[in-house]
């Protein structure tokens, strides 16, 4: 798990004041991190084009040119007059080395984007947009200095951005690198240090990036157990029975002792899944909403709403005012798992305010944080390319989502995984984090076509996670 920050300005300032480091020292280390990456991955003599902006991001690029002169065939393109004092100082230093400055964008083995850094808060002008388009058409390997030019403070393209193969970001990880929109542009993300190790550079935060190895599986280590030791998940069935069946199957694969579908499904159930018309007396968690439909006025819904059993809510519930009954329950373990369209529906029900999916996606963290400030006892997963898991003031981004998961039924599997952990006694936040990670790690393990994975394939891979992790 790694720390995330909205901005690193305060961290840089702290370095100046606490460690007596200078802007010059931080810049030298930032550029050295990029230079080390290039030396490790490209052979001597490779052609290198560095496109330089007017500010300190451009200054980083100019320092890089000096550090790699003699190793690469370095050319620097500066489309506009330099403005920052550091950029001007670095320009004078680099000129003395003998760097070649060019007056146009030239095809090269490596292209470094050092135009704009983090913190962009305005739409780019047409001249810059044209430069971005020309860089995007180059065939060379593209590296972003700190953040791809065009990605704004909220992670949105402003309105265009450079598509990079690698982003080498400075000092600490920025939230804007992990928006759904930025995922298309950033490539692999590498963080380099700025004169002190990250543990010293960074300060406490409530925002985190999840790593794959943060996954904790519900492994069975005690020998004296029985099926009742691992909980009983009740999955509420509705008009689309397949959704509840997938959730129940996934929960069994993820270690729950018993799974019962509650309702009157007409589909023949797998032998391992039980059926009941009411909540079983020994239910330890409930999964509700997936495939349920729009009729929330029923005895079973009433019994669920009046219960204090831990519950995962998904899908159709987010468009119903019934959601308000659950949100008012402050002592219950509750997890919500909307995708963006469902979140927008829930927002309208809760706040009587209409927002578009595009508005939500342009600043997902802002809306998640507002929701969690209103309902600090609820755990929320806003699904997406980079899912956000949040409760109260803490937020966690899972950046490992795969296009393989973009298929009906993946969300039902996730609900089953969450329900399995809730039923086994995990807290709502632990259940949300570990189920979200299990889903993406399992999808990575599927070795069929990128378009081919079925929810049942995903469930099969869930069953192999423990074995796969033990052989790594």
Helix (H, G, I), strand (E, B) or coil at 247: helix
Question: 224 and 200, same structural domain?
Answer: no
Last residue of a domain, one of 162, 178, 205: 205
Question: 232 and 135, same structural domain?
Answer: no
Q: Which pair of tokens denotes residue 81?
A: 């007059």
Question: 192 and 290, same structural domain?
Answer: no
pTM: 0.93
Question: 232 and 199, same structural domain?
Answer: no
How far apart, in whole angstroms, are the C-alpha atoms of residue 389 and residue 215?
A: 14
Last residue of a domain, one of 205, 227, 252: 205
Last residue of a domain, one of 205, 226, 256: 205
Question: 196 and 85, same structural domain?
Answer: yes
How far apart, in whole angstroms, are the C-alpha atoms of residue 325 and residue 465?
A: 36
Q: Which pair of tokens denotes residue 276?
A: 């009941």
Q: 313: which strand partners?
A: 288, 336
Nearest to 167 by CA among 155, 12, 15, 72: 155
Our count of domains for the chain comes to 2
- The set of long-range contacts for 359-368, using a CB threshold of 8 Å and a minimum separation of 24, is 361/180, 361/181, 362/154, 362/156, 362/181, 363/154, 363/155, 363/156, 364/179, 364/180, 364/388, 365/154, 365/175, 365/179, 365/207, 365/395, 366/154, 367/343, 368/395
Question: 169 and 141, same structural domain?
Answer: yes
How far apart, in whole angstroms, are the C-alpha atoms of residue 444 and residue 458?
A: 10
Question: 235 and 198, same structural domain?
Answer: no
Nearest to 313 by CA among 330, 331, 292, 299: 292
Q: What is the per-residue pLDDT for 470?
A: 59
Question: 369 and 222, same structural domain?
Answer: yes
Q: What is the per-residue pLDDT for 467?
A: 85
Question: 319 and 242, same structural domain?
Answer: yes
Helix (H, G, I), strand (E, B) or coil at 153: coil
How far apart, in whole angstroms, are the C-alpha atoms of residue 285 and residue 292?
A: 17
The CATH number that applies at residue 436 is 3.40.1190.20
The CATH number that applies at residue 120 is 3.40.50.10260
In sequence order, which residues have a C-beta less than 8 Å from that of residue 414 and are 6 or more positions away?
A: 250, 337, 381, 383, 435, 436, 439
Q: What is the per-residue pLDDT for 336?
A: 98
In sequence order, which residues have a C-beta less than 8 Å from that of residue 270 and are 6 or more positions away?
A: 245, 249
Mean pLDDT, 10 residues at a time, the chain of 472 residues: 94 94 95 97 97 95 96 95 94 90 95 92 92 96 97 94 97 96 96 94 96 94 81 92 94 96 85 92 95 80 93 94 94 97 96 95 95 98 97 97 93 97 97 98 93 95 86 43
Q: What is the per-residue pLDDT for 269?
A: 87
Q: What is the per-residue pLDDT for 226?
A: 80
Q: Domain of 439?
A: 213-471
Question: 8 and 47, same structural domain?
Answer: yes
HSE-CB at 143 with a 13 A cutoff on CA atoms is: 27
Residue 226 contacts residue 253 (beta carbons within 8 Å) = no
Q: What is the per-residue pLDDT for 189?
A: 97
Q: Where are the beta strands (DSSP E) in 253-363?
A: 258-262, 274-276, 285-288, 311-313, 334-336
Integer angstrom CA distances of residue 81 from 62, 162, 210 = 13, 21, 41
Question: 154 and 52, same structural domain?
Answer: yes
Provide the phi-psi class of 225: left if phi over 0, else alpha when psi is between -120 and 50, else beta.
beta
Question: 354 and 440, same structural domain?
Answer: yes
In sequence order, which residues have a C-beta less than 8 Å from that of residue 397 and are 6 or more positions away?
A: 4, 175, 178, 207, 208, 209, 210, 386, 387, 388, 389
For 354, list phi and psi in degrees, rounded to 5.
-95, 125
Nearest to 383 by CA among 418, 426, 333: 418
The Cβ of residue 148 has, within 10 Å, a number of other Cβ atoms equal to: 26
Q: What is the per-residue pLDDT for 471?
A: 44
């Amino acid at each position: 798990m790694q720390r995330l920050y909205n901005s690193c300005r305060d961290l840089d300032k702290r370095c100046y004041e606490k460690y007596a480091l200078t802007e010059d020292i931080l810049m030298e280390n930032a550029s050295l991190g990029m230079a080390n990456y290039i030396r490790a991955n490209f052979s001597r003599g490779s052609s290198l084009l560095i496109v330089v902006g007017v500010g300190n991001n451009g200054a980083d690029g100019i320092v890089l040119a000096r550090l790699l002169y003699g190793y690469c065939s370095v050319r620097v393109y500066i489309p506009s007059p330099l403005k920052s004092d550091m950029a001007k100082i670095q320009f004078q230093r680099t000129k003395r080395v003998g760097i070649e400055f060019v007056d146009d964008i030239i095809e090269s083995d490596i292209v470094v984007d050092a135009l704009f850094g983090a913190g962009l808060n305005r739409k780019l002008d047409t001249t810059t947009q044209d430069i971005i388009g020309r860089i995007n058409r180059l065939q060379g390997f593209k590296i972003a200095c700190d953040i791809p030019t065009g990605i704004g403070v909220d992670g949105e393209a402003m309105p265009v951005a450079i598509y990079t193969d690698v982003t080498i970001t400075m000092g600490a990880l920025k939230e804007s690198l992990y928006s759904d929109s930025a995922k298309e542009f950033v490539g692999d993300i590498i963080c380099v240090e700025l004169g002190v190790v990250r543990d010293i550079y960074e300060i406490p935060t409530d925002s985190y990036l999840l790593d794959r190895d943060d996954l904790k599986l519900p492994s069975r280590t005690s020998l004296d157990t029985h099926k009742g030791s691992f909980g009983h998940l009740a999955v509420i069935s509705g008009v689309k029975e397949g959704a509840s069946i997938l959730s129940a199957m996934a929960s069994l694969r993820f270690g729950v002792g018993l799974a019962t579908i509650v309702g009157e499904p007409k589909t023949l159930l797998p032998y391992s899944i039980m059926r009941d018309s009411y909540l079983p007396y020994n239910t330890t968690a409930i999964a509700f909403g997936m495939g349920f439909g729009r009729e929330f006025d029923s005895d079973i819904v009433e019994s669920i709403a009046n219960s204090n059993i831990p519950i995962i809510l998904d899908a159709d519930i987010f468009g119903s005012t019934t959601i308000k009954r659950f949100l008012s329950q402050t002592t219950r373990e509750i997890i919500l798992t909307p995708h963006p369209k469902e979140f927008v529906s829930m927002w309208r029900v809760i706040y009587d305010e209409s927002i578009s999916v595009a508005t939500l996606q342009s600043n997902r963290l802002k809306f998640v944080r507002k929701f969690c400030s209103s309902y600090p006892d609820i755990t929320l997963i806003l699904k997406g390319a980079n899912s956000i898991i949040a409760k109260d003031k803490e937020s966690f981004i899972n950046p490992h989502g795969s296009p393989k998961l973009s298929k009906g039924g993946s969300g039902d599997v996730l609900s089953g995984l969450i329900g399995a952990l809730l039923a086994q006694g995990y807290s709502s936040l632990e259940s949300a984090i570990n189920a979200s990670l299990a889903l993406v790690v399992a999808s990575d393990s599927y070795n069929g076509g990128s378009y081919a994975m079925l929810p049942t394939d995903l469930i099969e891979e869930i069953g192999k996670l423990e074995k796969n992790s033990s052989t790594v």
